[in-house]
Amino acid sequence: MAKVVDVRFKQSGKSYYFDPGEWEIHEGDIVVVETARGVECGTVMHGEHEVPDGSIPQPLRPVLRVADAMDIRRMEQNREDEKRAFEICADRIERRHLGMKLVDAEYTLDRGKLLFYFTADGRVDFRELVKDLAGIFRTRIELRQIGVRDESKMLGGLGICGQPFCCSRFLRDFQPVSIRMAKDQGLSLNPSKISGTCGRLMCCLAYEQPAYDYLNRITPGTGSVVKTPEGTGTVVDANVVSGNLRVKLDAPSSGFKVFPLSDCQVIRMARRPVEHDDRPPREQRDR
């Protein structure tokens, strides 16, 4: 086991493990750490605690210090300068007619690097753009292409449910989402109904999938033969959420009747069709 603290650099970003060393660090503290991108300020989301060694990415970087007033002022100044950097970069992109959409700009704490995040449909030759920006800002420039889901997470917004995006509120990692989940949950396969603002399949499809996997496993599908309080029959429709089965009884003139699953005994379970490829269309897959 190793002692770590969880540090987050953006409001909707992931938390990363750092070695607290001899520092007394509590949840909510602002600390200065060295990352692969350079020296940065972050907020402690979880104070000192122990985690298994195998769950820690190596190398485990140390906390350099607890941020003082000067660090915080520098961080706030960087946030203001990032707005100007964003505007300048967007102007240069437009002048050079590059097929990319600028999403965000970010300085490291020591201003040793200025990162620009963008989305694009394909590869973009931005070498001349980097030269322009390096000449203006006199620091190391890095342009990083991100996916549309990352863009939504960084910018935030409201989903079709009326709530702020899950990815910008509490999701730290994107989970795989497939069109099969929509099928299992009986949802319309209309892309506009099951896609989020980012254009990808909605992350919330994955929330209830374990429950639907269980319900579909125990609920007789169409074509199953069941014994009901009124005799045997064949299932013609099943509502896995309510647990009701619509059954065509074998007895003449009995017609169709609805029974709770708890009142039925399965005689022969119909095989469900096998999904050979449950991946979403290529344009809806995650990057």
Q: Which of 92, 91, 87 is nearest to 104 (CA)?
A: 87
pLDDT tens series, the chain, 287 aa = 888 888 888 776 678 889 888 888 989 899 999 887 788 888 998 888 888 877 777 788 889 999 999 999 999 999 999 999 999 999 999 999 999 999 999 998 889 899 999 999 888 899 999 999 999 999 999 999 988 888 888 788 888 888 888 887 777 778 888 898 998 888 888 888 898 888 889 988 998 899 999 988 888 888 899 999 989 999 999 888 888 999 999 888 778 999 999 899 999 887 665 454 444 444 444 43
User: 94 near 102, Cβ under 8 Å?
Assistant: no
CATH pick for 73-146 out of 3.30.300, 1.10.10, 3.30.420, 3.40.50:
3.30.300
User: 262 near 227, Cβ under 8 Å?
Assistant: no
User: 92 near 129, Cβ under 8 Å?
Assistant: yes
In whole angstroms, give the CA distance from residue 194 to residue 202.
6
- 63-73 in b/e form (b: 16+ CB < 10 A) is bbebbeeebee
What is the amino acid identity at position 241? V
DSSP result, 86-100: HHHHHHHHHHTT-S-
Please, where in the chain does CATH 3.30.300 lie?
A: 73-146
In whole angstroms, give the CA distance from residue 16 to residue 258.
53
Tokens of 194: 């099951």
Tokens of 172: 């730290």
Tokens of 169: 């509120």
pTM: 0.69
From residue 154, alpha-carbon distances to 105, 127, 170 in Å are 11, 25, 12
Please, where in the chain does CATH 2.30.30 lie?
A: 219-268
State in words which class domain 219-268 has: mainly beta
